[in-house]
Amino acid sequence: MNEEQHGNNAEHFDVVIVGAGISGIAAAHDLAQQCPDQSFVVLEAQENFGGTWWVHRYPGARSDSDLYTYGYRFKPWTRPPIATGEEIQGYLWEVIQDGGLEPHIRYRHSVRSASWSSAANTWTLEVARGTDNTTMRVTCKFLWMCQGYYKHGKGYTPRWPNMEAFKGRVVHPQTWPEDLDCTDKRVVVIGSGATAATLIPAMAGKCRELTMLQRSPTYFTVGRNEVPLADQLRELNIDENWIHEIVRRKLSRDRETLTLRAREKPEQFKQDLLDGIKAQLGEDFDVDTHFSPRYRPWTQRIAFDPDGGLFRAFREGKASVVTDEIERFTKSGIQPVSGKTLEAEIIVTATGFHLSVMGDIPFDVDGKPVDFAKTVAYRGMAFTGVPNMVWVFGYFRASWTLRVHLINDFVCGLLKHMKQTGAKRFEPVLRPEDDAMPLRPWMDSDDFNPGYLARSLHLMPRLGTKPEWRISQDYTIEKEEFAAIDFSDPVFAYARE
């Protein structure tokens, strides 16, 4: 449907940003700074900003990355590097206020469909507004999708036999009930990823029994929640902007060095990780069973235990770990395949997300539905056959936000180029020399394979083998590649009409 079909009641902007999470707020900030002549609005389905940090409000919710790299390049982070969800919300709020972004954000505006008209060179969005879901239309020349990568309404909970028999409560951390009281209860947390590792220290000591039940172990590192270099620079009264940039570069490089080591010497790397855990738990703890994963280090995110809270809980007997398959639920808990029943009043399923491609919003181009799985992604952000649109998808291993700024600079550069050349339409195209290029899934499962991606990889756009059609997951490489993008390259097709 285009604007004419909708009548004239649509509100029009140059740019619509979908989502007011950390990506959408960054997009709004960078657009306002770099392209002040572009009118824009941020449409956000929830009643508040923050995205992930607004949705995930379970006990202890915090970042896994340091905020020097997960925070924005333009706003210094001055607190301990691993931040609580509340601290991140506070940081984002300051960015919204300082950047004068508040008037641009519309809360409770959920985009329900997106239609491109080549006749009008315009996107028309159907938007459900307010608590009563009144429908309205918004049109724009450029659509900036910052809606994240998972379904916000509901987390992923596998089905286990006999679940309905359980008499207690089953909760997913993504939809943590405000009234849930774990005091003196027996709680089983299923899963051992970053979420479980956050929940366990936050609940340890309050529950009667707290068990982390995992099918298979996760890699962990333990360290102080501090960056000594940042503290030293502060003692020298160095300007916070400088500290932010210096520490950001240092931590980015440290992470890349680690990734390289994990790839080149996986056995040694694994042994070092296990030695770190043994130092936490002592020689008598069965580290090989519970903390020695089957996968190669770095094919999934390595979970961080700031200040050792998780391992302290195990060491002090305030939590225990069971590594086993679930055979079935019982009335009073969980029956693992090989062990005794785990009694529980509360079962927390820290089992991850449902991947969502483009927020599950139906897209069409000139009336033809878009199947993103059939598109090819230019640097993982723009899609063949889909004009004037980008999707912000950050890094998996490094901080998400590092890639967000690269994409933002691309979009702002593109909008300026289109304005200068009078182009109304842009889309990436496979060039003749790309004809023989093999197409590959969004993620090479041998390189990185978290469950939520593996379950839905078939829905994701495809990538190629050339740098333009890949996501390297390496910030240093991409930083140079993005800076060298030539908007006149034949990989971009433009139309003036």
Ligand X SMILES: Cc1cc2nc3c(=O)[nH]c(=O)nc-3n(C[C@H](O)[C@H](O)[C@H](O)COP(=O)(O)OP(=O)(O)OC[C@H]3O[C@@H](n4cnc5c(N)ncnc54)[C@H](O)[C@@H]3O)c2cc1C
Q: Residue 296 Cβ, how far from ligand X at the closest point, in Å?
A: 21
Q: Which is nearer to ligand X, 18 or 382 (CB)?
A: 18
Q: Residue 343 Cβ, how far from ligand X at the closest point, in Å?
A: 28
Q: Residue 275 Cβ, how far from ligand X at the closest point, in Å?
A: 25
Q: What share of the chain is helix, strand, coil (3-state, %, to 5)?
A: 35, 25, 45
| Residue 424: C-alpha distances to residues 6, 335, 340, 416 (Å) | 21, 61, 66, 12
Q: Which is nearer to ligand X, 189 or 274 (CB)?
A: 189
Sheet holding 342-343, edge to edge: 326-330, 333-336, 342-343
| Residue 79: C-alpha distances to residues 71, 227, 249 (Å) | 11, 10, 17
Q: Which is nearer to ligand X, 146 or 207 (CB)?
A: 146
Q: Residue 19 Cβ, how far from ligand X at the closest point, in Å?
A: 3
Q: Which residues bind ligand X (CB under 6 A)?
A: 18-24, 43-46, 51-52, 56, 61, 63-65, 70, 110-111, 146-148, 152, 195, 359, 361, 392, 394, 399-400
Angle, helices 400-421 vs 22-34, to 10°: value is: 40
Q: How far apart are CA 132 and CA 129, in angstroms?
A: 7
Q: Which is nearer to ligand X, 64 or 345 (CB)?
A: 64
Q: Which is nearer to ligand X, 394 or 428 (CB)?
A: 394
Q: Which is nearer to ligand X, 23 or 38 (CB)?
A: 23
Q: How many CA atoms lie within 13 A of 32 on its CB side?
A: 20
Q: Which is nearer to ligand X, 153 or 490 (CB)?
A: 153
Residues 6+ apart with CB under 8 A from 175: 153, 154, 155
**Residue 98 near residue 28, CB atoms below 8 Å:** no
**Residue 395 near residue 472, CB atoms below 8 Å:** no
Q: Which is nearer to ligand X, 56 or 141 (CB)?
A: 56
Tokens of 263: 């790839």
**Residue 177 near residue 168, CB atoms below 8 Å:** no
Q: Which is nearer to ligand X, 56 or 137 (CB)?
A: 56
Give a three-class secondary structure readout of 158-197. CCCCCHHHCCCEEECHHHCCCCCCCCCCEEEEECCCHHHH
Q: How far apart are CA 464 and CA 441, in angstroms?
A: 8
Q: Which is nearer to ligand X, 78 or 84 (CB)?
A: 84
Q: Residue 419 Cβ, how far from ligand X at the closest point, in Å?
A: 26
Q: Residue 323 Cβ, how far from ligand X at the closest point, in Å?
A: 23
| Residue 114: C-alpha distances to residues 126, 130, 167, 476 (Å) | 7, 19, 43, 34
Tokens of 252: 């980015």
Residues 295, 300, 306: CA angle, nearest 5 degrees: 115
Residues 6+ apart with CB under 8 A from 311: 220, 222, 277, 280, 281, 305
Tokens of 66: 């340091």
Q: Residue 186 Cβ, how far from ligand X at the closest point, in Å?
A: 24
Q: Which is nearer to ligand X, 76 or 168 (CB)?
A: 76
Q: How far apart are CA 239 and CA 245, in angstroms?
A: 10
